C-alpha cells in the first residue's frame, strides 16, 4: 500500500518546529520590533537591578561542546545573579560526547536534570536540532559560524542604550565581514529599523553576496568601501569593529598588505560624531589600538557588560518569565 512515512515525518517535523517556536532561542534574526523592544526593556530592568531571586529553584545547564570562556562566564553569571543553580561542562573532552555519544542523547540526558540548556557547539544547526529533540528550552550560545543570538541581543542593547533608539542609524561595520557571524546577525536584526550600513573591508573579506542580496530584498541601504580613514568614518553612529584574522586569507601577501589598514587609532576619531560609539565582540588583538580605550567613544567593555543583562533577559524569556513578573518581583 501507499502508506508512507513521508507525511508522518512531515507532521513530526512541523510539530517539533512548533515546539521550538514556543520557547527556545536559536535565532533572533526574524524577531519583530515588538519582541526586540520587549527583550530590551527586560534587559534594562536587569541593568537597574541585576541581583534577584526570580530563578530560585531552577537549574540552568551550560553545555559547551566547544570552549568559549567569555560567553560561558556571561551566561553563568546571568543565571547565578538570578538565583538559579548552574550545571554543565566547559570542554567536550571530559564528557561522553568524546566517547561517541550523539548530541541527541546528551541533550535528552541533560533535559532530565535542567530547566533550560544553554549550548555552544562547533557544528552549524546543532542548537536547532537540539531544540527539536527536547521539551525544555534551548538557548543557542553559538553554533559554528552560523548564529549567536545572545551576542546580537547584547549588540542591540548596546546600540539602543548609547543612541537612545535603534531607528535610522548609520552603522559602520569594519574588518572581516565575510566570516564574522556577529555582523551578519546584527545586519539581519536591524532590518526593521531603517539603518544605513557601511561595509568597510578588504576585498577578500567583503560582505558575502547573500547578505547584500538580503539588504536589497529588504530595502536596507548599504555602501561598500575599502578605505578606512578619519574621513570615511565621520558620519558613523556605530563603528562595529571586527578582527581581520591571518588564517582567513588564501593569499598571505594580501594579508600583509591589508592587515594594518583596518586598525582603529585614537587620532582617527577627530571628526567623528559626538554620539558615535565603538563596538567590538571581543576578544580584540590589534584592530583597536590601546590608545582608543580612553576615548569617550570606546564602548566595547561596557558592551560586554551589557551581555550579562541581555542574557538574563533571554534566560527569563525562554522560561516563560515575563517583564511584569520581573517588575513585580518582591
Partner 1 sequence: MISEMKNKDLLVAALQNGSVIDHIPTDKLFTIVKLLELDKCEEPVTIGNNLESSKMGKKGLVKVSGKFFTDQDLSRLAVVCPNMRLTVIRDYEVVEKREIALPDTLINLVKCANPVCITNNEPMKTYFEVDKLKGLVQCHYCRKTQKLGNIKLI
Which residues are catalytically annotated? 70-71, 99, 120, 148
**Coil, strand or helix: which one is 196?**
strand
Rounded to an integer, what is the distance from CA 77 to the centroid of its chain? Answer: 17
Number of Cβ atoms within 10 Å of the Cβ of 54: 17
Is there binding between residue 67 and partner 1 (CB under 8 A)? Answer: no
Is there binding between residue 126 and partner 1 (CB under 8 A)? Answer: yes
In whole angstroms, give the CA distance from residue 3 to residue 238.
57
Three cell numbers at 241? 569593529
In whole angstroms, give the CA distance from residue 167 to residue 192.
8
Cβ-based nearer residue to partner 1, 124 or 230: 124
In whole angstroms, give the CA distance from residue 330 to residue 328.
6
Could you tell me if 307 and 154 are in contact, meaning their C-beta atoms sit under 8 angstroms apart?
A: yes
Q: Cβ 212 to partner 1, closest distance in Å?
A: 15
- Which residue in 21, 53, 70, 125 binds partner 1 (CB under 8 A)? 125
- Which residue in 6, 219, 294, 296 binds partner 1 (CB under 8 A)? 6
Q: Cβ 35 to partner 1, closest distance in Å?
A: 20
From 9-17, 201-209, 296-304, 319-327, span contacting partner 1 (CB under 8 A): 9-17
- Which residue in 9, 22, 98, 194 binds partner 1 (CB under 8 A)? 9
Three cell numbers at 31? 524577531
Is there binding between residue 124 and partner 1 (CB under 8 A)? Answer: yes
Q: Cβ 7 to partner 1, closest distance in Å?
A: 8
List the x/- string, 148-187, binding to partner 1 by CB under 8 A.
Answer: ----------------------------------------
Is there binding between residue 267 and partner 1 (CB under 8 A)? Answer: no
Q: Cβ 16 to partner 1, closest distance in Å?
A: 10
Cβ-based nearer residue to partner 1, 4 or 294: 4
Three cell numbers at 318? 525562554
In whole angstroms, give the CA distance from residue 154 to residue 98.
32
Three cell numbers at 101? 555519544
Three cell numbers at 296? 569617550
Three cell numbers at 291? 590608545
Cβ-based nearer residue to partner 1, 19 or 85: 19
- Which residue in 1, 18, 94, 253 binds partner 1 (CB under 8 A)? 1
In whole angstroms, give the CA distance from residue 245 to residue 231.
25
- Which residue in 7, 99, 164, 227 binds partner 1 (CB under 8 A)? 7
**Rg of the Cα atoms in the chain:** 21
Cβ-based nearer residue to partner 1, 77 or 97: 97
**Coil, strand or helix: which one is 122?**
coil
**Which single residue is written with the C-alpha cell 570606546?**
298
> Is the torsion defined by CA of 35, 36, 39, 40 positive or negative?
negative
- Which residue in 43, 128, 279, 315 binds partner 1 (CB under 8 A)? 128
Length reported for the chain: 330
- Which residue in 48, 70, 122, 221 binds partner 1 (CB under 8 A)? 122
Where do contacts with partner 1 occur on this chain (CB under 8 A)? 1-7, 9-10, 13, 102-104, 121-126, 128-129, 143-146, 210
Amino acid at each position: 500500500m501507499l502508506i508512507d512515512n513521508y507525511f508522518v515525518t512531515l507532521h513530526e517535523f512541523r510539530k517539533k518546529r512548533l515546539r521550538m517556536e514556543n520557547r527556545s532561542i536559536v535565532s533572533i534574526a526574524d524577531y519583530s520590533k515588538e519582541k526586540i523592544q520587549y527583550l530590551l526593556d527586560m534587559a534594562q530592568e536587569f541593568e537597574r537591578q541585576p541581583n534577584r531571586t526570580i530563578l530560585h529553584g531552577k537549574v540552568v545547564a551550560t553545555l559547551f561542546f566547544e570552549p568559549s570562556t567569555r560567553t560561558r562566564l556571561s551566561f553563568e553569571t546571568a543565571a547565578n545573579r538570578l538565583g538559579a543553580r548552574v550545571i554543565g561542562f566547559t570542554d567536550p573532552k571530559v564528557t561522553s560526547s568524546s566517547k561517541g555519544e550523539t548530541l541527541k542523547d546528551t541533550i535528552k540526558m541533560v533535559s532530565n536534570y535542567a530547566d533550560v540548556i544553554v549550548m555552544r557547539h562547533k557544528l552549524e544547526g546543532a542548537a536547532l536540532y537540539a531544540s527539536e529533540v527536547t521539551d525544555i528550552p534551548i538557548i543557542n550560545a553559538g553554533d559554528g559560524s552560523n548564529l549567536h543570538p545572545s551576542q546580537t541581543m547584547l549588540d542591540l542593547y548596546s546600540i539602543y542604550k548609547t543612541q537612545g533608539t535603534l531607528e535610522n542609524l548609520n552603522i559602520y561595520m569594519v574588518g572581516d565581514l565575510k566570516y564574522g557571524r556577529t555582523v551578519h546577525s546584527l545586519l539581519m536584526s536591524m532590518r526593521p529599523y531603517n539603518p544605513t550600513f557601511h561595509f568597510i573591508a578588504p576585498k577578500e573579506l567583503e560582505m558575502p553576496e547573500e547578505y547584500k542580496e538580503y539588504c536589497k530584498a529588504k530595502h536596507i541601504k548599504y555602501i561598500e568601501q575599502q578605505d578606512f580613514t578619519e574621513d570615511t568614518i565621520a558620519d558613523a553612529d556605530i563603528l562595529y569593529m571586527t578582527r581581520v584574522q591571518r588564517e582567513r586569507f588564501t593569499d598571505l601577501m594580501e594579508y600583509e598588505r591589508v592587515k594594518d589598514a583596518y586598525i582603529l587609532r585614537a587620532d582617527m576619531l577627530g571628526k567623528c560624531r559626538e554620539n558615535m560609539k565603538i563596538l567590538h565582540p571581543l576578544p580584540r588583538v590589534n584592530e583597536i589600538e590601546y590608545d582608543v580605550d580612553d576615548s569617550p567613544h570606546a564602548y566595547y567593555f561596557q558592551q560586554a557588560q551589557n551581555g550579562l543583562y541581555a542574557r538574563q533577559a533571554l534566560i527569563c524569556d525562554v522560561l516563560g518569565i515575563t517583564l511584569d513578573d520581573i517588575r513585580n518581583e518582591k
